[in-house]
Amino acid sequence: MRTYLLLIIALLIAAPLASAQQITLLLWPNGAPESYHGDPEADITKTTDRLVGGKPLAHLTNVSNPTLTVYKASDTNNTGAAVLVFPGGGYRILAYDLEGTEVCTWLNSIGVTCVLVKYRVPFAEHYPQNPADLEDAQQAMRLTRSHAAEWNIDPKRIGVLGFSAGGHLVVVLSNHADYKRPEAPSSEVDARPNFVVAIYPGYLTDAPALNKLANGIDPTSNTPPTFLLQAEDDPVHEENALLYFQALKEVKVPAELHLYAQGGHGYGLRPTDLPVTHWPGLVETWFHTIHVLPGPVSHP
């Protein structure tokens, strides 16, 4: 297992290397399935916003032209695996660095190509009331699979990783990859991810009761292997991870759950003194366990 020190070093020095290999594509070059117009895209971060790990974080909003940006693993350590990353932000903003570009730096450091998805926000409602978020996620996965040979990745080892609202979105995608509006054209490219990582996911439970899954979650035996992580003191509520884990167990989907006493919400992978922020090592080990990464399972 790579030490936490190596992760920090990678975050500091690998970003320029990753940026040199970036490829950005529009998700909908001919226009999205539904009209979406708003104010110009902007980062609305304010000096009064909370800091994470002593640093501010991006608050990207008014995204009407969604994109994906590919951060290729280097030729020397590319394992062929890829992960689509969906930042969180309550479907209002995208924490595009904290839960996006910084995650790509880590994934590249372990030989995984990162596909950072800038999906449309803000939305007053998400799937199932409004399926536009799911359609962006489907399109991102289909574009990635269709470029797998070009980007030197294995189309059978493409997963998704999401935070908070992005955690909700990757769960929805994993359960509704075949969703299609009646009027939308069909696609032969599979949108189902091969594995799922949901970090402090939101919207999975039927709030405020928190005793059953929300509408539109719907796991089945076809749901991919899933990794879940949350803290007990998360104001978004650890029941999101707990109830979904139990639902996956009932349909016999391989799942791994990690709950911590402290950590709150929205920490990304910036290191703190709390054990929960060591989750990248747990995910890397899980990748070996489910054979996304080659070689023997390593241990912390």
CA nearest neighbour of 293 among 197, 284, 141: 284
Most confident option among 1-5, 62-66, 124-128, 170-174: 170-174
The pLDDT tens digits for 208-238 are: 889 999 999 999 999 999 999 999 999 999 9
Q: Where are the domains of the chain?
A: 4-179+190-289
Look at residue 9 in the predicted model and tell me its pLDDT.
45
For 172, residues 6+ apart whose C-beta sits below 8 A from its C-beta are 126, 127, 133, 134, 137, 216, 217
**CA pair distance 57, 202, nearest whole angstrom:** 19
Cis-peptide, bond into residue 122, ω within 30° of zero: yes
Amino acid in the structure at residue 161: L
pTM exceeding 0.85: yes
Residue 245 or 185, more confident: 245
Q: Is 4-179+190-289 in CATH node 3.30.930.10?
A: no
Relative to beta strand 22-26, strand 60-61 is unpaired
The answer to whether residue 36 scores a pLDDT higher than 80 is: no
pLDDT at residue 78 greater than cutoff 80: yes
Give the C-alpha separation, 283 to 260, whole Å. 15
| Encoded tokens for 91 | 């479907």
Tell me: the pLDDT tens digits for 135-174? 999 999 999 999 999 999 999 999 999 999 999 999 999 9
Reading the block at residue 120, the tokens are 């449309």
Share of the chain above pLDDT 70, in %: 90
DSSP secondary structure of 144-189: HHHTTTTTT--TTSEEEEEETHHHHHHHHHHH-TT---TTSPP-SS
- Which has the higher per-residue pLDDT, 197 or 17? 197
Are the CB atoms for 52 and 266 separated by under 8 Å? yes
